[in-house]
Amino acid sequence: MTRRQSLAAIALATALAGTPALVAATGVQALYREHCGACHGESRLGGIGPALLPENLERLRKADAVKVIREGRVATQMPAFGDKLNADEAQQLAEWIYSKVSPAPVWGEAEIRNSQVVDAQAAAQPARPGLGLKGADPLNLFIVVETGDHHVSILDGDRLERVHRFSSRYALHGGPKFSPDGRFVYFASRDGWITKYDLYNLVVVAEIRAGLNTRNAAVSGDGKWVMVGNYLPHSLVLLDAKDLSLVKVIPTLDAAGARTSRVSAVYDAAPRKSFIAALKDVPEVWEISYDPDAEAVAEGLVHDYQYKEVHFKPGMFTPRRTLLQDHLDDFFFTQSYLEILGSSRSTPKGQVIFLDGRKKIADLDLPGMPHLGSGITWKWTDPAGRERTVMASPNLNEGLVTVIDLGSYQNVRQVRTLGPGFFMRSHENSRYAFTDSMMSPQHKNTLQVIDKQSLEVVAEIKAQPGQTLAHVEFTRDGRYALASLWEMDGALLVIDAQTLKEVKRIPASKPVGKYNVWNKISRSEGTSH
């Protein structure tokens, strides 16, 4: 066992100390262990899937939970168990996951600090691309998450070849995030581990377990901070990006201080020098500034700001709340970062939120279940010859891409596709946008190509029937698009972005996501947050 593995094992043992052990494998516990434990964790604390605890299930009625167990859940990896479990067994499982775990799982400041592992030698590596990159342009690297055997590959985006591959934490989630110069990449795993990796020298610099069940992480525009959004415990965790040391734990309490919430998502809004976080269980959006000169945040109602009539907290790292009428399960930044577009599982209507004014300013017509986190923008010329900025989002519930005019927030077009999809990508140098139908049993093997001016599907790229083809990312110059053949013996399909012809395949083990350094740090209009 290596030093890193040994320290990680100690940290994991610490993480699990005090969590409930699964009781004897009889009755409902045996059912859970057989059908649920591999994804949701034997102690119900989460893994690939979310934690199954009463405090995380408040928005799901018990009857609906039974239905999910029997029929699966759209837009997730939750399969249907109706052919394996009868109605009584599904009911038993539902009753059990709504019961409290005893003793309650604890993961606070002390546990987070004790889990930190820093490799001093790795941290001291020079700030220049090393020999391991084999001359590859560090700004045209691809980070490829391979879930089949829990590895990450690094590809040279010019030669379209793998230059390195290393083992990762279990169930990486939410997409890796980069330092502003592209040197460091930060990974978040579903079980709470945050990893800082040096792309110049191909080494892990530091790790820390920020939660037990984590949604995603964001890196500040100045490269100094990492913010982690957790499902369990209900919290935001602020880390120093240099060594991932703990700075602050922010409990996600509602404005009344009565309820806590999971974090739907947290993203960096670099032009605003802040993080934006949406809460899953209470209808609030938070802006957390990392600007040392941020205005103080008032607690309670304010009659006159000039006279500072109420208590004010420092503006830096103090949440500034926007109260809403509905929850946000997902959201998308406009290119100006003045607004966010949000959607909820509970309603077909989305909402536009003006961040400076801290209020909703418009409704969005969003049928189905749009995946705004995969939304992209581009310049589109309307029939009258006027240039518009539009946003397009795939849909998790039906074969539909919604195209929205970001000037009027009106739908420009509903593009029909073969089936529900998860990802959408383009590039400013490409006339095409790619979308998948990976949620469709019949058409998950097909990528569809949309012409960004005609807003019509103009081509299809297919894998073998029954295979899954998803998640496209472009090279830095937009010449090639890489798609994931999401199979255990899978591959990255390299596609000429003009001719739409496949030019080569790079073997990979269930590659789910791939991320081009330049496209991410430059906030390319064709890529997501």
What is the average pLDDT across 33-45? 87
Strand partners, 449: 434, 459
Domain boundary among 79, 97, 115: 97
Q: Give the DSSP letter string of 298-349.
A: E-S--S-GGGT-S-EE-SBT--EEEE-SS--SEEEE-TTSSEEEEEETTEEE
Q: How does pLDDT run across 126-157, given as a tens digit for each residue?
A: 999 999 999 999 999 999 999 988 899 999 99
The DSSP H or E segment spanning 411 is strand 411-416
Which amino acid, residue 85? L
Residue 494 lies in a domain: yes
Average pLDDT over the chain, rounded to whole? 89
Q: How does pLDDT run across 512-525, given as a tens digit for each residue?
A: 899 999 999 999 88
Residue 225 has pLDDT above 80, yes or no: yes
According to DSSP, residue 212 is labeled S
Residue 412 lies in a domain: yes
Q: How does pLDDT run across 376-418, given as a tens digit for each residue?
A: 999 999 999 999 999 999 999 899 999 999 999 999 999 999 9
pLDDT range class, residue 362, cuts 50, 70, 90 = very high
Note the pLDDT of residue 277: 97
Residue 345 has pLDDT above 80, yes or no: no
Residue 319 has pLDDT above 70, yes or no: yes
Measured between alpha carbons, how far is 252 from 266 in angstroms, rounded to an integer?
A: 12
Note the pLDDT of residue 12: 41
| CATH code assigned at 24 | 1.10.760.10
The answer to whether the bond into 233 is cis (omega within 30° of 0) is yes
Measured between alpha carbons, how far is 494 from 504 in angstroms, rounded to an integer?
A: 5
Residue 437: which of 465, 460, 469, 461 has the closest Cα? 469
Residue 21 has pLDDT above 50, yes or no: no
pLDDT range class, residue 329, cuts 50, 70, 90 = confident
Domain boundary among 46, 67, 97: 97
| CATH code assigned at 445 | 2.140.10.20
Note the pLDDT of residue 308: 52
Residue 447 lies in a domain: yes
Note the pLDDT of residue 373: 87
Higher pLDDT, 395 or 105: 395
Residue 206: which of 177, 185, 223 has the closest Cα? 185
Domain membership of residue 413 as a residue range: 370-529
Least confident of 6-20, 273-287, 451-465: 6-20
Residue 371: which of 116, 76, 10 has the closest Cα? 76
Contact between residue 375 and residue 525 where contact means Cβ atoms under 8 Å apart: no
Q: How does pLDDT run across 416-441, given as a tens digit for each residue?
A: 999 999 999 999 999 999 999 999 99
Residue 1 has pLDDT above 60, yes or no: no
pLDDT range class, residue 7, cuts 50, 70, 90 = very low
Domain boundary among 67, 97, 127: 97
What is the average pLDDT across 70-93? 86
Q: Token match 């890196």: residue?
A: 219
CA distances from 188 to 193, 203, 208, 230 (A): 6, 16, 10, 10
Residue 363 has pLDDT above 70, yes or no: yes
Residue 476 lies in a domain: yes
Measured between alpha carbons, how far is 230 from 263 in angstroms, rounded to an integer?
A: 6
pLDDT range class, residue 309, cuts 50, 70, 90 = low
Measured between alpha carbons, how far is 507 from 384 in angstroms, rounded to an integer?
A: 47
Residue 506 lies in a domain: yes
The total domain count for the chain is 2
Spell out a b/e string for 379-402, using b for 16 or more CB atoms within 10 Å of the CB, else e.
ebeeeeeeebbbbbbbbbbbbbbb
Note the pLDDT of residue 42: 83
Residue 411 lies in a domain: yes
pLDDT range class, residue 101, cuts 50, 70, 90 = confident
CA distances from 382 to 379, 389, 433 (A): 10, 10, 17
pLDDT range class, residue 10, cuts 50, 70, 90 = very low
Residue 301 has pLDDT above 70, yes or no: no
**C-alpha 11: how far from its chain's center?**
24
Residue 250 lies in a domain: no
Residue 47 lies in a domain: yes
Note the pLDDT of residue 45: 79
